[in-house]
Amino acid sequence: MNSMLWAGTVVGAVLGLLHAGYVYRVVSVPGDAAAHARAGYYALWTLSLWLLFGTYVLVLWIISVVAYTIARPFRWRM
């Protein structure tokens, strides 16, 4: 379980950094210091939420793959 939490954190960090960079680029306006500060604030929140929910999403994905694998032989044919 501990390795799954670390894997989710790493996945969340990578996706969070990519998304935070995109958010910063979209929100910031060249030459406007207030817009750069706001963009940095939004990017920090984006990264934080990805780190927090990255583990949660990875665990749910693994649970759903296991459940699908178990339920697959029992599917009804129509």
Instruction: Please indicate, yes or no, whether the overall pTM of this predicted structure exceeds 0.75.
Output: no
25-59 burial, b if ≥16 CB within 10 A, otherwise e?
eeebeeeeeeeeeebeebbeebbeebbeebbeebe
- pLDDT, one tens digit per residue, over 21-71 is 999 999 998 888 999 899 999 999 999 888 888 777 777 777 888 888 888
